Chains A and B, each alone.
Chain A
């Protein structure tokens, strides 16, 4: 039999710069169409949920279907405010980076619903192991913005003493594990934290976070194996924002169809959700969190969203995707969608929205002023050189003491 020559398949996105944005390959279920399974459903009985998209808000802004109805009016308004706050925070910090007040920034534009809504499914004491694009977990838990800014500016009040890249926050109190900046390592750590909680017969759960690109790391696989084997009380989140810097999600996804489907091989229930739908994110997160809390084990959730901004302040997306792609994204904007829903239900209005935007921006600017009184990256107060040497170990060993003395501190 002549089998011919082999050729290597290298996936390509549908469109590159200069082309017309095309999301016809993104199959989107109708809002309300995907069923809500029993909390103890087995992975093999809900396989379809790994290939569809759970949505609550329809085109008209109505909340429909079996995943709707979990949030009170106040919850919804708070959700909108949290997302608006995160967006305003991003806008100011992006500008601050352009002004040279910090070296680096990463924004959430278009992905605000994912972390803001997820936080509301957790309880005090639960622990997130986040990546660099989940600051909504802190905003929605009312972590002081000024502390975040102190960290971004590496100023004299920086809780991390200038040691970490901007936005690599840490807050045990707010259930936010120290961000590494290294990719995927936190995923398996979250599983370990959850295993510890189970070992101690605690009631707290963990949440792991990863992006579409980093699911290709071996730590993602390790995490799923351990989570599956020990039925760890962990929610395994995959934020599929379509782009890993310049690499489209097809390079990491390969032939598996969806990232959620990765969970099925491990026997982990896997759900795919509209990441730009605050209500859907919250509802699915609650389902997974309840499973974990009831000792039913891990759940994998893929949030289908779109990174509307650049990867970071060091990135220019126009070099690898059409400029208008963001506008063509079929799942819309999370802030506008929730706003529309609230207005439809007479819980909000255009006037209140404009007013809220102004209030929120004032709040962000006030926090920024307060932070800047304590310095920015290149001006004013900054952490001590002594802080370089502290905290490598609980007790400073002799060789570090000698080096600190050599440095003049």
Chain B
């Protein structure tokens, strides 16, 4: 075991996967020699050689398109899109190609690729380095969508993603790379080393994709979150003193509906939170599922807390980010409803 940041955990996952399977290759912009702008692939080229970890031209459709071809050949590419905001040129390759190759060829060809991308705000990245495009992936049949919230999950889920026979979008909340950020941006930064989920085995392990985890047991209200918002939700529960049950989805597709239904049936109240914009966001899907499956248990309307329906602003980042105060207000409202 070692104390790892999320960056180190992600790197360790790729290291372990590459060590176990020669067919795993890692590439993307600045990924090879330099080790990635967030350093997630640091040392992999030195260890595995430059034909297994290399730099690419600045071409996201090229990165994903070649990964699809490599997967058709039999490799297991794990590629990096430098920021989730840069994935749009590859969207055609992801949605109409990667997602459908198994289906359209009736399994003659498959597409076991992983597309890693740093997601979300909190680093003053402005509108082109802060987006959370997960709902643009969950709407696509054939993709899997994973968003870890801590180093332990990041490693186990990334190994599972690399081993998965289908394409997995792996969104890494960049504000969590170096610590369990809970939205209290005015407070000193907390490092991962003080968090129990930074205790990460050096060796192989995997976490099944599609299983949520309860991060805080509670009886008053269920908060459904993923990524950075898990920590924000925990802070909001502490700040308000409301006995919230916080569910970390970890995987949006497949979705652990049982975990959601079990909790909401118990608490009768639910707040769904995500950093992505509100309208047509993944929270809408969860709210719909809750009313379909838990309607008669509900004591109050399901509430959503999300990014405003605007581009991600630069200077007003903390007025945009759905922090613990906004989540806390929603918790109070849903308890009073």
Contact = CB atoms under 8 A, between A and B. Distances in A.
Interface of A: 127, 129, 159-161, 163-164, 168, 170-172, 177-178, 180, 182, 185, 187-200, 206, 218-219, 221-223, 225-226, 229, 391-394, 397-399
Interface of B: 25, 51-52, 56-57, 59, 61-62, 65-70, 72-75, 77, 89, 92-93, 96-97, 100-110, 141-142, 144, 165-166, 210, 253-255, 257
Nearest to B90: A222
Given A160-B105, A392-B142, A185 B65 contact: yes
A391 B104 CA distance: 8
Contact of B92 (A161, A182, A225, A229): A182
A127 B68 CA distance: 14
Given A178-B109, A189-B72, A394-B165, A164 B104 contact: yes
B293 to A, nearest CB: 10
B106 A182 contact: no
B69 A193 contact: yes
A171 B102 contact: no
8 contacts: A170-B104, A171-B108, A188-B65, A192-B72, A200-B75, A219-B65, A219-B92, A225-B62
B107 A391 contact: yes
A170 B109 CA distance: 8
A230 to B, nearest CB: 8
Given A160-B104, A182-B96, A199-B51, A193 B70 contact: yes
Contacts of A177: 72, 109
Most chain B CB atoms below 10 A, which of A170, A182, A195: A195
A185 B92 contact: yes
Given A192-B68, A199-B25, A398-B254, A178 B101 contact: yes
A381 B102 CA distance: 23
Given A164-B104, A393-B102, A193 B72 contact: yes
Given A172-B109, A196-B70, A397 B254 contact: yes
A192 B65 contact: yes
Contacts of A193: 69-70, 72-73
Contacts of B97: 180, 182, 185, 189
B73 A127 contact: yes
B103 A229 contact: no
Contact of B96 (A185, A192, A222): A185
Contacts of B210: 397
A268 B43 CA distance: 32
A222 B70 CA distance: 15
Contact of B62 (A127, A188, A197, A398): A188
Nearest to A193: B69
A172 B52 CA distance: 25
B69 A191 contact: yes
Given A170-B108, A170-B109, A196 B75 contact: yes
- The 6 nearest A-B residue pairs measured at CB: A192-B69, A192-B66, A188-B65, A222-B62, A178-B105, A196-B73
A170 B52 CA distance: 29
Given A160-B105, A188-B61, A399-B255, A394 B166 contact: yes
Contacts of B105: 160, 170, 172, 178
B101 to A, nearest CB: 6
A160 to B, nearest CB: 5
A198 B75 CA distance: 12
B77 to A, nearest CB: 8
Contacts of B254: 397-399
Given A170-B104, A196-B75, A206-B69, 20 more contacts: A161-B106, A170-B106, A178-B104, A178-B108, A188-B66, A188-B69, A188-B93, A192-B73, A196-B74, A199-B52, A199-B75, A200-B73, A223-B65, A229-B57, A393-B165, A394-B102, A394-B110, A394-B166, A397-B210, A397-B253
